[in-house]
Structure 1
């Protein structure tokens, strides 16, 4: 049995960590008194901590007390999936970089934004607004459009409801034009950005799909408009995305067999 790390419960964060670590895989509901015994946190303080954790959806209330929420499970799965995704994607991203010598990105969907989880570029890389862990709107990035094009329609409605803020003179702010771009991306398997998130930057992206054709992530190549022609690299970006998807699917199949 793995022993959980000891935490200093004098801080609020320490108390929250102690509560999370107090649960076992077999727990379906743990009462206040038992959590107090496991954590050593005084009853009054513990009650306030538990109420706060329920409010932010780290815990659920049950008839027997408290249990870890589905949100905690999703966070754990997200961390696991992203580590595996980056591991699988890196060789394909490196190949894209060797073919283009431009900046290569890997991004995932979170809410109505792209989160960049990996980036490869050399001394010639374009000055782009992306960084690992950074976020950008879906509607004005090639990765975002690649993800949005194959996502459920309600996501696009959420994006439109939030508004298409103009980031550059070429940002698409007309809902009808964005819909047409997304329809085209869904048909061709690639999406483009033409100086829509930053002046001077153009990009081509393709989605990484699961076996049910749902987007897991997207990969892109970005370069300066002065030398990079994104349409010329659409095929290799699409092939890289398909390679990542195929490798992930094979890994998942092997895990299921075991």
Structure 2
């Protein structure tokens, strides 16, 4: 992806946006070694499933994972025995054991329990879709989502991922993260999800500067046409550390940014106080 006109200025500010020097790539070597291990083969098999997949045949698991058919077949049988996969006729689906293990992730479970009452309050006040997201790599991961009957039931889902640079929660997190994260996001490429997605590093930087000053992020139609999202960062009061971001998402014609901002800030402060 070629960078916009802002790239030279950004590079002058110390952003290494250009291609990496040629030569051995330790990351690639590490990935190749991992793929040769048993876990390195199990991972692409499990990750072959998307949120929209109910069950997949063996051939599709082979195609998506890139692992040899005989190996996929053998490992799939073991994963079924462990409960990580289940059989559905001749096909495979993710197993209940994965869900059980996921619920044991301590940090996310405790955080979600702290956040839920405030999300419910926001839902009652705004009657719009409420998200709480955390940062992972170059994405936001939605830790929780609640919505009314008329709310947004697409694009986002619990445990789903979306890019940091074009989501309300992502912008709120990115604005309060170390500058190196911005560099990594730009280097990976700002790809448009809609015609309104900000793909200029300079424009994105200006947005983040404004978010830091105002304490609130507004994303309009960058993820889905006709929808906007208002988000605030959430800090643990005891440590001052950034733990995630809270947002209200609504159709653009119904988004009450002025009215929702106060409720969001109040909820974010309440969450921060409740984290021990």
One fold, TM greater than 0.5? yes
The one of 241, 245, 268 aligned to 1:214: 241
Q: Is the 1:116–1:133 Cα contact (8 Å) retained in structure 2?
A: yes
Cα separation, 1, equivalents of 2:105 and 2:206: 34
Are residues 1:97 and 2:101 paired?
Answer: no
Structure 2 counterparts to residues 66-85 of structure 1, below 5 A: 79-85=105-111
Structure 2 counterparts to residues 136-175 of structure 1, below 5 A: 136-175=162-201
Cα separation, 1, equivalents of 2:229 and 2:214: 15
Counterpart of 2:50?
none
Are residues 1:180 and 2:194 paired?
Answer: no
Residue-by-residue CA offset, 1:25-51 (whole Å, 9 max, x unaligned): xxxxxxxxxxxxxxxxxxxxxxxxxxx
1:147 offset after TM fit, Å? 0.5
Counterpart of 1:236?
263
1:89 offset after TM fit, Å? 0.6
The one of 68, 87, 108 aligned to 2:134: 108
**Structure 2 spans left out of the alignment, 5+ residues:** 1-37, 43-100
1:233 offset after TM fit, Å? 1.0
1:232 offset after TM fit, Å? 3.0
Residue-by-residue CA offset, 1:1-46 (whole Å, 9 max, x unaligned): xxxxxxxxxxx68xx9xxxxxxxxxxxxxxxxxxxxxxxxxxxxxx
CA RMSD of aligned residues (A): 2.0
Q: Is the 2:147–2:153 Cα contact (8 Å) retained in structure 1?
A: no
Residue-by-residue CA offset, 1:149-181 (whole Å, 9 max, x unaligned): 000110000000011101111100111111111
1:212 offset after TM fit, Å? 4.4
Q: 3-state SS of the aligned residue for 1:213?
A: coil
Q: 3-state SS of the aligned residue for 1:115?
A: strand
**Structure 1 spans left out of the alignment, 5+ residues:** 1-11, 17-74, 253-258
1:79 offset after TM fit, Å? 2.0
Cα separation, 1, equivalents of 2:185 and 2:268: 24
1:227 offset after TM fit, Å? 1.6
Counterpart of 2:9?
none
Number of aligned residues: 177
Counterpart of 2:98?
none
Runs of 4+ in 1 over 4 A off after TM superposition: none
Q: What is the TM-score of this pair, normalised by structure 1? A: 0.65
Q: Is the 1:143–1:205 Cα contact (8 Å) retained in structure 2?
A: yes
Q: What is the TM-score of this pair, normalised by structure 2? A: 0.61
Which of the two has higher C-alpha Rg? 1
Change (3 A) 1:213 1:128: farther
Counterpart of 1:195?
221
